[in-house]
Amino acid sequence: MNLDFTPEDLAFREDVRAFLKASLPDDLRAKMINRDHLGKADIVRWQRILNARGWAVPAWPVDDGGQPWSPTQRYIFQEEMALAHAPEGSPFNVNMIGPILCKFGTDAQKAKFLAATANIDIWWCQGFSEPGAGSDLAALKTSAVRDGDDYVLNGQKIWTTQAQHADWMFALVRTDASGRKQQGITFLLLDMKTPGITIRPIPSIDGISDLNEVFFDDVRVPVGNRIGEEGRGWDYAKHLLGHERSGIARIGLSKERLAQLRHLEGELGGSGRIDERERARLRRKLAEVEVELRALELTQLRVVAADAQGGGANSAASILKVKGTELQQRMTELVAELAGPAGIATPSHDATDHGDHGWEAAATPYYFTMRKVSIFGGSNEIQKNIIAKTILRL
Ligand SMILES: Cc1cc2nc3c(=O)[nH]c(=O)nc-3n(C[C@H](O)[C@H](O)[C@H](O)COP(=O)(O)OP(=O)(O)OC[C@H]3O[C@@H](n4cnc5c(N)ncnc54)[C@H](O)[C@@H]3O)c2cc1C
The count of domains in the chain is 3
Whole-angstrom distance, CA of residue 276 vs CA of residue 140: 55
Q: Within this chain, do residues 221 and 251 fall inside the same structural domain, yes or no?
A: no
Q: How far apart are CA 186 and CA 171, in angstroms?
A: 8
* Residues in the chain where the model's pLDDT stays below 70: 1-3, 243-247, 307-314, 346-357, 394
CATH for 320: 1.20.140.10
3-class secondary structure, 135:
coil
Residues 373 and 251 in one domain: yes
Ligand 1: nearest atom to the Cα of 380: 47
384 touches ligand 1 (CB under 6 Å): no
Asked if residue 336 and residue 210 are part of one domain, the reply reads no
Domain end (from 207, 232, 257): 232
Neighbouring C-beta atoms of residue 51, cutoff 10 Å: 18
In a domain, 132, yes or no: yes
Q: Is residue 60 part of a domain?
A: yes
Residue pair 129/137 in contact by the 8 Å Cβ criterion: yes
User: 73 CB less than 6 Å from ligand 1?
Assistant: no
Last residue of a domain, one of 34, 66, 89: 89
**pLDDT at 3 (0 to 100):** 63
Q: Are residues 228 and 268 in the same domain?
A: no
Please check whether residues 202 and 251 belong to one and the same domain: no
Q: Are residues 209 and 267 in the same domain?
A: no
Average pLDDT score over the chain? 90
Domain-located, residue 378: yes
Whether residues 380 and 283 fall in one domain: yes
Is 100 part of a structural domain of the chain?
no
255 and 379 assigned to the same domain: yes
Does ligand 1 come within 6 angstroms of the Cβ of 368? no
| Cα 3 to Cα 119: distance, rounded to the nearest angstrom | 34
Is 109 domain-assigned? no
Counting Cα atoms < 13 Å in the Cβ hemisphere of 54 gives 10
Which of 89, 114, 140 delimits the end of a domain? 89
pLDDT digits (tens, 9 = 90+) for 87-137: 988 999 999 999 999 999 999 999 999 999 999 999 999 999 999 999 999
Find all residues with CB under 8 Å of 334, minimum gap 6, and list them. Answer: 261, 282, 285, 286, 289
128 lines ligand 1 (CB under 6 A): yes
Q: Based on the domain organization, do 217 and 252 belong to the same domain? A: no
Q: Are 99 and 239 in contact (CB under 8 A)?
A: yes
Choose the residue to mutate in 37, 96, 135 for probing ligand 1, maximizing ligand atoms within 8 Å of C-beta: 135
Does residue 133 lie in a domain region? yes
Asked, for residue 319, whether it belongs to a domain, the answer is yes
For the packed helices 316-339 and 276-308, what is the interaxial angle rounded to 10 degrees?
Answer: 160
Instruction: Choose which residue among 93, 248, 325, 379 to substitute to test ligand 1 binding: the one with the highest number of ligand atoms within 8 A of its C-beta.
Output: 379
CB of 329 closer than 6 angstroms to any ligand 1 atom: no
d(CA 343, CA 146): 54
Check if 161 has its Cβ closer than 6 Å to any atom of ligand 1: yes
224 and 270 part of one domain: no
Q: Is residue 218 part of a domain?
A: yes
pTM: 0.91
Same domain as 222, residue 289:
no
Q: What is the pLDDT at residue 377? A: 84
214 and 256 in a single domain? The answer is no
- The CATH number that applies at residue 158 is 2.40.110.10
- At 179-227, the pLDDT tens digits run 999 999 999 999 999 999 999 999 988 777 899 999 999 999 999 999 9
User: What are the angstrom distances between the C-alpha of 112 and each of 69, 117, 122?
Assistant: 26, 9, 10
Give the Cα separation of 230 and 183 in Å (integer).
10
Cα separation, 305 vs 2, in Å, equals 7
Distances (CA, A) of 176 to 127, 170, 184, 188, 269: 18, 18, 4, 14, 63
Give the domain extent around 308.
246-345+355-390
pLDDT at position 311: 57
